[in-house]
A and B are shown apart, each in its own frame.
Chain A
């Protein structure tokens, strides 16, 4: 490996007449917690989608964990260690917390329908490995006591932790979090920050967030994007003090 979890250069994305990304460069060292900030419509989620192989870039080069993600289907990218949560929180709402994790273990399981019917060793091993891993992940994410709750019934902040738990089942090497603390109260945010620190060991984390306190608490470096272009990449303190960033945020604060 190169030591870089993400290497992107000149990434462009056009949607018809709209240019969502205008040549973004991004390098994230392995093991870092990296921030990505910018006003609404800056192209942060679009960049996430490209890094996860869900959206294909219109131009530029993108390498994640050494993979050319632009050339791979999204499920391949996911299977090779790239996890992400969605801005509009996505969980399997009709199912319980534990079933959510069961769906998430798809990639770690091998048994066939026939092996399941025969209760063959392959099935039992898959299920035993799942139980062990699920228990550990539920513990980490503080969801152990909610294991049998339907996902849809969980409080909003808890659903966000479930979304992280679901991704942790696959033990991703890099995890993208799209506005994870949006809508959380201070206590929930503090808990979530602790969770991210906890799960950051041994993996790279990239966070899009409007909550600058959370960014400041977690990130070693942050990339600021405005209008599809990068403005500055620096420590959170210095990036936020940058005159262009101040201008961009003041400009949008008015309509928020």
Chain B
């Protein structure tokens, strides 16, 4: 369990089982994606929604690099999502560049902007960091609202060809498979980040910044690296929203988007690599099935969060963990 949580091959004996477990989870993810992709019965609406949900899951993962990784609440993270959505839209509409080039530009720009923003804000922690980060995303939103290149309040739309190489994202099933594949790739990368020297530095900082510093960890630098890593992931998520939304407006940088991702991460479990992705799926599917009004949705999920926090402060995965522990315990108890 802890192997997955920290991504660390904690002991010689357990190193192998950790990577086995990782591979097993990956296979499970691929199977789930294939089942969903073919099982949604070619319903274009559901497939498009599923593709969009994969993008949202990637955003939740990005947010969780800061939340679960550093223990910070990055309210302004929607800015990077927005940059990721605007970049391909602008590249296609103004420069005639292909979608993929725009996605790459968005990711690079997000990382380049994250560096100075982190430099300014990451000396702050807790509520101070959250609020300043939110403020900066507000600045970005107002900028998008007032520039011509971003299409002002109307935003950008009428994109030429949304495709990744030979894969045409305007076909719902292709969109879903591409988004799901990218989601799995992001999960794999984040899994390895967590098990690396850098990932452990983040975890040490989250648990005890003073102790981490006394162990020679440059707390500020590692926090900055975490932001610079998570920003392009958020941008990638934003770019993947285009085939579903078909438009980018300043609204894309609304703080509510970050709040949604935070809720998804909290529901799925911030301590687990794939927790936020699971949370994102729950977060999208549930309101769809229950046909919830957006305002009611916020209420329902706030209540859900409270319930989760009371029953399992680490996220829903704690309940699964507890259930699994009880099961294996019972099995051991039965053994002669």
Contact = CB atoms under 8 A, between A and B. Distances in A.
Given A90-B210, A131-B12, A116 B195 contact: yes
Contacts of B193: 113
A99 B8 contact: yes
Interface string A94-117: 111011001110110111110111
Given A75-B219, A117-B192, A170-B216, A103 B210 contact: no
B126 to A, nearest CB: 18
B215 A78 contact: yes
A86 B2 contact: no
B22 to A, nearest CB: 11
Contacts of A156: none
Interface string A107-136: 101111101110000010011000100000
A68 B311 CA distance: 51
A126 B195 CA distance: 12
Q: How large is the interface on B (under 10, 10 to 19, 20 to 34, 35 or more residues)?
A: 20 to 34
Nearest to A96: B2
B19 to A, nearest CB: 8
Given A106-B216, A113-B196, A131-B12, A93 B207 contact: yes
Given A86-B210, A90-B210, A111-B197, A106 B215 contact: yes
Contacts of A107: 215-217
Chain B at the A interface: SS class: helix
Interface residues of A, number: 43
B217 A116 contact: no
A106 B204 contact: yes
B216 A111 contact: no
A93 B206 CA distance: 11
Interface string A55-98: 00000000000000000011110110001101000111111101
Interface of B: 2, 6, 8-12, 15, 188-189, 192-193, 195-201, 203-204, 207-208, 210-219
27 contacts: A54-B213, A54-B214, A74-B214, A78-B215, A83-B214, A90-B208, A90-B211, A92-B207, A92-B211, A106-B197, A106-B200, A106-B216, A107-B215, A107-B216, A111-B196, A112-B197, A112-B198, A115-B196, A116-B192, A116-B197, A117-B189, A117-B192, A131-B12, A166-B215, A167-B214, A169-B215, A170-B215
Given A86-B211, A90-B208, A112-B196, 11 more contacts: A74-B214, A75-B217, A76-B216, A78-B215, A91-B211, A92-B207, A92-B208, A102-B10, A103-B204, A113-B193, A170-B216
Interface of A: 52, 54, 73-76, 78-79, 83-84, 86, 90-96, 98-99, 102-104, 106-107, 109-113, 115-117, 123, 126-127, 131, 147-148, 166-167, 169-170
